[in-house]
Amino acid sequence: MSALVAVINAGSSSLKFSLHAGEEVLLSGQVDGLGTRPASRARDAAGRPIPGPGLGDDPPATAGEAMRLLTPWLAARLGGRPVAAYGHRVVHGGARHAGPERVTPGLLEELEALVPLAPLHEPHNLAPIRALMADGVPQVACFDTAFHRTVPEEEQLFALPAEFAARGIRRYGFHGLSYEYIASRLPEIAPRLAAGRVIVAHLGSGASLCALRGGRSVATTMGFSALDGLPMGTRCGELDAGVVLHLIAREGMSPAEVQDLLYRRSGLLGLSGLSSDVRDLLATDAPAARLALAVFAHRTARAVGALAATLGGLDGLVFTAGIGENAAPVRAAIMARCAWLGLDWDAAANAAHGPCLSRPGSRVEAHVVPTDENRMIARHTRAALGL
């Protein structure tokens, strides 16, 4: 009987979880609305709704508090069968951690020191780990940055004095667990691409691109933080650093106000003035919504061109994550702008969400491949602990 691995993906307002026995997903769910109006939901192995963790009279406000409610709920669902290990998504592993690692007090201390590099993600990732430390169940930290440790140095470095790189100010890249999962699927889905030059577009509320050569990351659009690169739901993406200086020096904004602007009030929300959700923007004819989607498609296609130059050509383009998997008009707008690369795409296939979007004979293949970060975390956890 396969050991049970619980996967925890904690954010600022939600705690997502799933339970795995080998490659089988036994259940999944989340507690969201943390700090505002918490609610829980879950599904069984067949995808049917089941009652989620009870939130009690004093609902959780943080991921750590939600974790304390999740563990007894899991125990009750399992009827005494123990969870053998917990696997966690941790956004930032810094320059030292190139793969999943078993959590120790020393590792947790190292990760705490990385909080300034990912202030809006790392504290929430670490809270459930701390909440579980006293239980004695093995835990494994799986880093979103680790997959990009294969990126060459010239891609990692900013044009700053060398002392800053030595202090950790360099490009790291994120969404690595998603990209690693897609790379693991390519040999089965598109064998020609598995050994070739591929750009994966992880397009969701957080969005980035990754250039793969032979399944290994060689460049990505996110850099020092998860703020860089493409416009996102509420994040601005790539921005002239002079704008930040101007906002502080001339507009009188504090660093905290600039952080709030760039992380929470920009991106599709800021451009449209309506919503950060692509579904909402596609459902309206408001000119600002049309413009926001056009900016998103333009910037994504521009980044595809830049990464294709880094790869020395392009064999395939893969769309994944919420927007990439489900928003056909957004994919169409991006692919239309990438035709010059040799991408001959099929409008009917795109409307049906693929899985193959390109016509036979297209020099560049295009595919939709659903991502599964939790499955990747479960695999890493089993491998790290020999389960």
Indicate which residues carry an active-site annotation.
Answer: 144
Nearby residues of 331 by Cβ (< 8 Å), 6 or more positions away: 319, 324, 350, 357, 368
Determine the Cα angle at 88 with ends 87 and 92, to 5°.
Answer: 140
Q: Supply the DSSP string of 236-298, one letter for each residue.
A: --S--HHHHHHHHHTS---HHHHHHHHHHS-HHHHHHSS-S-HHHHHT---HHHHHHHHHHHH
CB 358 within 8 A of CB 343: yes
Report the distance separating Cα 111 and Cα 146, nearest Å: 13
Calculated CA dihedral for residues 109, 174, 168, 303, nearest 10 degrees: -170
- The region that residue 364 occupies, defined by phi over 0 for left and psi between -120 and 50 for alpha, beta otherwise, is beta
Nearby residues of 295 by Cβ (< 8 Å), 6 or more positions away: 231, 271
φ/ψ (deg, to 5) at 16: -95, 145
Determine the Cα angle at 5 with ends 80 and 182, to 5°.
Answer: 155
Report the distance separating Cα 211 and Cα 198, nearest Å: 6
Report the distance separating Cα 217 and Cα 198, nearest Å: 10
